[in-house]
Amino acid sequence: MDSSLYQTIQPSLQQLQKWKNSFGSFTTHPSLVVEDSIIQETLRTLSERLTGNYPFHHPSYAGQMLKPPHPVAALAYSLTMGLNPNNHALDGGPPSSEMEKECVQALANLFGYHHPYLGHLSSSGTIANLEALWVARSIHPKKGIAYSSEAHYTHGRMAQVLGMRAHSFQLDSEHSITEHLDALPFDSIGTLIVTMGTTGLGKVEPLAHILDWAHSRDIRIHIDAAYGGFFKSISNLLPGPVAHWDRMHEADSIVIDPHKHGLQPYGCGCVLFKNPEVGVFYKHDSPYTYFSSEELHLGEISLECSRAGASAAAFWATLQCFPLQSNLGFGPILTACHRAAIKAYNYLNKCDVLTAYIAPELDIITYFAGEKDSLRSTSTISNLSKEIFHQGMAHKDLSQQYFISLYTISSKEFSQRFPEIPADSADVILLRSVLMRPEQEYTVEDLLCRIEADAKNLL
Ligand SMILES: Cc1ncc(COP(=O)(O)O)c(C=O)c1O
């Protein structure tokens, strides 16, 4: 966080301190006292060790789905964390529980869920998806789940945890969807997962077609929009059919991660259920937790118990500054990220030594290196990808370093798009850039220019 921002938080800290003091003064127990010099030295060592990170804050970082939170979120989190409310029960944090409900309502409304619905924040996308699958199993105890081969691995893993059967299907093109879905043992599938914003390629799976297919077979739909969910605010600007976004409210449950595109620190996922009656599956009889009100406690509709109230406060504060609108708040941020990916795609289409793998749908771009006119094979492409990936981080001048990621797909899948490139290995490793920083719309061409120069040197 910019150090000048610490000034911004001072009046609020003082206000909170005044409130704390109004309960009467007391002396901190001697067992908790640490000398200032020790704290200072510890923090100095900490900041030194933290420089071992990759520069997540910088536009030259285009590796994985991560970036620091917006300063508004960081300040709101810090301020609230000083009190450390627990959003498990209303008693644990009445104001932050209210804020959580307001945040959840904003997300629900974004997708077209309106009262009544059920939802809450969670500590991650993994836990939010686990909860959605747990409800799926509670509704259809004898049936399994299905998801595309590009779904996040968490679904397969959580199916194991829940003891559910999991089926995977291909979703290579919109034309062959029904064919692939028809091959599923649909009598034994209770819930089908649709990923809107796949982790690898940032693809938006064709929800509208899948909904039609699933509903006529009485199969529930869960949308994993952990990554792509915030793009709903600019769905009319995206290249794919807007119908997929427009029909999100028909799904039975949706997951979105504010700690990905929602400018939040880690510890902020969200799960939403269209039908509030699924609350019945959470029923329990805790003698410990609730005593302050008859109102719904978030802990009564959540698998997790303790959760940071600071997460809800940070997201609430962020939504005050960045509404979920297409032309205000989140919209312009996501539009810039998408524009960065389009710029990258256009650059790659003109480049001699780098080739785009597919056109970006959101803000993730995948590509590979090699002379376009000479002989390339899947194994030479993989080797080059690995070399470029390491070379980006090996430049002596830190300002010349760049950070991208590798993405492995089967050569069979690759050959469907590039049949002219011989497949001499089972898999092929591609280069991948996640352009989550709006600044990257101005810097992505320079980033690719540096990658191109390294590719030429390596060839
Ligand atoms: C589509 C998708 N679902 C789920 C997850 C898991 O979310 P988390 O890392 O918040 O647990 C991810 C993470 O990248 C994701 O991209």
Decide which of 265, 291, 321 is a domain's last residue.
321
Question: Do residue 382 and residue 437 come from a single domain?
Answer: yes
Q: Cα 237 to the chain's mean position, in Å?
A: 20
**Which of helix, strand or coil describes residue 290?**
coil
CA R_g for the chain? 24
C-beta neighbour count of 19 within 10 angstroms: 10
Ligand 1, atom 7: nearest CA belongs to which residue?
Answer: 125
Q: How far is the CA of 199 from the centre of ligand 1 (A)?
A: 7
Q: Which domain-ending residue is among 289, 321, 353?
A: 321
| Count of domains observed in the chain | 2
Ligand 1 neighbourhood includes 269 CB (under 6 angstroms): yes
φ/ψ of residue 329, rounded to 5: 75, -115
* Tokens linked to 324: 């979920």
* CATH code of 400's domain: 3.90.1150.170
Short-list 213, 191, 193, CA closest to 205: 193
- Determine contact, residues 248/87, Cβ cutoff 8 Å: no
Residue 411 Cβ inside 6 Å of ligand 1? The answer reads no
pLDDT per residue of the chain (459 residues) written in tens, 0 to 9:
566 777 889 999 999 999 999 999 999 999 999 999 999 999 999 999 999 999 999 999 999 999 999 999 999 999 999 999 999 988 899 999 999 999 999 999 999 999 999 999 999 999 999 999 999 999 999 999 999 999 999 999 999 999 999 999 998 777 788 889 999 998 999 999 999 999 999 999 999 999 999 999 999 999 999 999 999 999 999 999 999 999 999 999 999 999 999 999 999 999 999 999 999 898 766 655 444 455 666 777 899 999 999 999 999 999 999 999 999 999 999 999 999 999 999 999 999 999 999 999 999 999 999 887 666 899 999 999 999 999 999 999 999 999 999 999 999 999 999 999 999 999 999 999 999 999 999 999 999 999 999 999 998
**pTM value surpassing 0.85:** yes
Shared-domain flag, residues 234 and 262: yes
Residue-level pLDDT at 6: 76
C-alpha 126 to ligand 1 mean position (Å): 6
Q: Are 347 and 309 within one domain?
A: no
Which residues span the domain enclosing 363? Answer: 330-458
Nearest CA residue ID for atom 16, ligand 1: 199
Q: What CATH number corresponds to the domain at position 282? A: 3.40.640.10
Which uninterrupted H or E stretch holds 103?
A: helix 94-111
CA distance 218 to 209: 14
Q: With a 6 A CB cut-off, is 227 part of the ligand 1 pocket?
A: yes
Query: Looking at the structure, do residues 100 and 222 belong to the same domain, yes or no?
Result: yes
Domain termination site, one of 321, 348, 368: 321
121 close to ligand 1 (CB < 6 Angstrom): no
CA distance 399 to 46: 23
On whether residue 31 sits in a domain, the answer given is: no
Side-chain-side CA neighbours of residue 401 (13 Å): 14
Dig out the tokens for 168 from the structure.
């995977």
Is residue 274 within 8 Å of residue 119, measured between CB atoms?
no
